Amino acid sequence: MNAIQITGLYKQFSGKRMKKIDALKGLDLEIAPGEVFGFLGPNGAGKSTTIKLMMGLLRPTAGAAKIMGMDAGQTESRRSVGYLPENPAFYDYLGAEEYIAFVGSQFRMGKSLLARRSEEVLKRLELWDARKRPMRGYSKGMVQRVGLAQALVHDPDVYILDEPMSGLDPIGRALVKDIILDLKRRGKCVFFSTHITDDVEKVCDRVGVIVKGTLVALDRVENILRSGVEGYLIHLKMPETESFSFGGIELFRRTDSVSEYYVPCSAFNGFMGEVNRTGTDVLLVETKRRDLEDFFLALVKSAQGA
Amino acid sequence: MASIILITLKGIFRDRVFQGIMVTALAFLLIPVIASLSMRQVTELSLTLSLSMISFILLLLSVFLGGTSLWKDIERRYTSSVLGLPLSRQRYLLGRFGGTALFVMIAAVVLGAAAFAVVLYSSAIYPPERPVIWSTMGLCILFDALKYILLIAVAFFFSTVSTSFFLPVFGTISIFLAGGVTQQVYEYLRSPASKSLSPVVKQIAAGLYYLLPNFGAFDFKVNAIYGLPLHVEGLLLTLAYFVVYVGILLSISAAIFIRREMR
């Protein structure tokens, strides 16, 4: 059974003057238990709409979303989910501890377990000292961390996080990445939306890219990174007076006795063959590739142009 | 649902609504003085003023707490967080309603206690011609509170269909004003004086009588002020009316709220 199963999910909103807007156009997606899935897309692509449909906050025009085999429209489907909404807001007259207790009670957590887990998550998210203060006095980053704390407290199998790094400083972002990696180690399924490719590259197993309500790419992160290899920068040790070309590849740059050659993928074998033949020392082979951001930008550009 | 009721109560108390009521309740201290200016029927006037003041405070609470509770949650996106929990929308709605209704009941008890003290003091200084029937006074306050709980249900109904607070607040006020006179209108329609009205107008008025809440049925102020007896059947009928009307309103509200999209 998939942790998350989305089949033909379609959402149409009514805009001004009854104009119909297709926010999501037949999305199909399967996320396995234990998988960390990054949902990338520019603003307005349909990421939050997808998440709200998964959480039963919106009703699909067509298609269905299931969480742990249960239809997302059912209240019980949310029992196995830790959900962080985009730019979360909580009853601001409550302290973080009170709100976490309220969330725990909705998941029918026992008092002692709730107290222990509450302490754990509040300490981990550095909210322990502020736990009794009303949240109306919290900074944006602190509210975001409360959002994560309430998603983590009942230790669910599935996490659905809408822009989890939003509003966090670099330390907070690193903390969230750590938490996601820890969840991954513990076999939890994490589905998170973002438009920051670096977040995805560091923590995700798979990535889906959505543009204008359509999934335009879906692949493992390592495949994307591998397919993005464009060539190699090869550092060779050569006397300063010598200057060679190998396999037709000319010198790119020289620093003291180190010569650098930029070799396209297709010429790599021929280049290395000649280097070996001449007995030149290879100091370093650097992979030159497009990163996930380049991949993402190219996709968005081509999808938006279409 | 108990946790939502508790959260709602905490919100109301922490927004210092209760402190506001307590400050307003200080006005009860003036009632014996003002009532004494009437020279006679001081106790009756104390009762009238006390019950009217309770009614007015409960009206403000019902309109503003009832009309803004749900709207505020949606507007501030609290619903995105809360409805992402395994909490059905019906339970959420009933919890918010229950918390608000419970607060109105608490306010009625506190204000009622102040009213009892005021009337006790007035009746001790200026003994009334007819003795005060304390149980009638208590029941009058209780049914007044029920009337405003019904009004909260009206406000919640408007909140489920509206995206702004205008309809919940002003719609509720309108319904309160209309619901306060439906009984008189109905009685007028049945009297010979209404002969000149066209049958269509009569039918519309009769339809509205059945559709709108009949707040007049909850008004036992005259009985409390003049020590007139209350009829158990009348009270039970009003209670049944309250239960059925609130039940229907909340069911419709829940049915609408389930379909509402939380964008």
pLDDT digits (tens, 9 = 90+) for B215-245: 988 988 888 888 888 889 999 999 999 999 9
Instruction: Judge: B81–A134 Cβ closer than 8 Å, yes or no.
Output: no
Q: Does A103 touch chain B (CB under 8 A)?
A: yes
Is the predicted pLDDT of residue B156 greater than 90, yes or no? yes
- The shortest C-alpha distance from B72 to chain A (Å) reads 10
pLDDT in tens, A162-206: 988 888 888 888 898 999 999 999 999 999 998 777 778 888 889
Buried b (16+ CB within 10 A) or exposed e, B84-94: bbbbbbbbbbb
CA distance linking residue B60 with residue B46, whole number of Å: 21
Q: How confident is the model at residue B190 (pLDDT cuts 50, 70, 90)?
A: confident
Q: Are A88 and B81 a contacting pair at CB < 8 A?
A: yes
SS3 A56: coil
Least confident of A177-186, B84-93, B120-129: B120-129
Q: Which domain holds residue B149?
A: 2-259
Mean pLDDT, all residues of chain A: 88
The phi, psi pair for A283, rounded to 5°, reads -90, -40
- 3-state SS assignment for residue A216: strand
Of B249 and B181, which is predicted with more confidence? Answer: B249
Instruction: Tell which wins on pLDDT, B32 or A208.
Output: A208
C-beta atoms of B262 and A52 within 8 A: yes
For residue B100, the distance in angstroms to the closest alpha carbon of chain A comes to 15
pLDDT per residue over A102-155, tens digit each?
Answer: 999 999 999 999 999 999 999 999 899 988 999 999 999 899 999 999 999 999
Q: Say whether residue A105 is in contact with chain B using an 8 A CB cutoff.
A: yes
Beta bridge partners of A10: A62
Contact at CB, B85 and A107, closer than 8 angstroms: yes
Q: What is the pLDDT of residue A306?
A: 57
Contact A78 B85 (CB under 8 A): yes
The reported pLDDT for the residue numbered A80 is 92
Closest Cα in chain A, distance from residue B237 (Å): 37
pLDDT at A243 over 80: no
Contacts of residue B77 in chain A, CB cutoff 8 Å?
Answer: 85, 87-89
Average pLDDT (B132-143) is 90
pLDDT of amino acid A241: 63
Count how many pairs of residues, chain A against chain B, have C-beta atoms within 8 Å: 67
- The residue type found at A284 is L
Split at pLDDT 50, 70, 90, the class of B127 is: confident
pLDDT at residue B208 is higher than 80: yes
Q: In this complex, which of B77, B86, B259 lies closest to A106 when CB atoms are compared?
A: B86
Q: Do A147 and B81 touch (CB under 8 A)?
A: yes
Which residue has 């991954």 as its token pair?
A184
- Note whether B81 contacts A57, CB cutoff 8 Å: no
Answer yes or no: do A91 and B261 touch at CB < 8 A: no
pLDDT at A242: 67
* Residue B172 C-beta-side C-alpha neighbours within 13 Å: 30
Chain A residue numbers touching B10 (CB-CB < 8 A): 93-94, 98
What is the percent of chain B with per-residue pLDDT over 70, rounded to a whole number?
Answer: 100
Chain A residues whose beta carbon lies within 8 Å of the beta carbon of residue B70? none
- Res B108: pLDDT: 93
Mean pLDDT in chain B? Answer: 88
A8-46 pLDDT, tens digit per residue, is 999 988 877 778 888 889 899 999 998 999 998 888 888
Does A89 contact B85 at a Cβ distance shorter than 8 Å?
no
The answer for A69, left when phi > 0, alpha when psi is -120 to 50, beta otherwise, is left
Q: Which residues pair with A209 in a beta bridge?
A: A40, A217
Q: For the sheet containing A229-237, what is the strand order?
A: A253-255, A258-264, A229-237, A281-289
Residues of B with CB under 8 A from a CB of A: 3, 7, 10-11, 14-15, 76-78, 80-81, 83-88, 259, 261-263
| Model-level ipTM above the cut of 0.90 | no
pLDDT interval class at A305 (50, 70, 90): low
Minimal Cα–Cα distance from A247 to chain B, Å? 60
Total domains present in chain B: 1
C-alpha distances out from residue B95 to A40, A111, A242, B88, B234, Å: 37, 21, 83, 10, 30
Q: One-letter amino acid identity for A152?
A: L
What are the chain A neighbours of B259 within 8 Å (beta carbons)? Answer: 59
Instruction: Name the minimum distance, in Å, from the CA of B176 to any CA of chain A.
Output: 30
**Contact partners, residue B78, CB within 8 Å, separation at least 6:** A89, A90, A91, B72
With CA atoms as reference, report the closest residue to A105 among A116, A114, A96, A97: A114
Interface of A with B in 208-267 (CB under 8 A): none
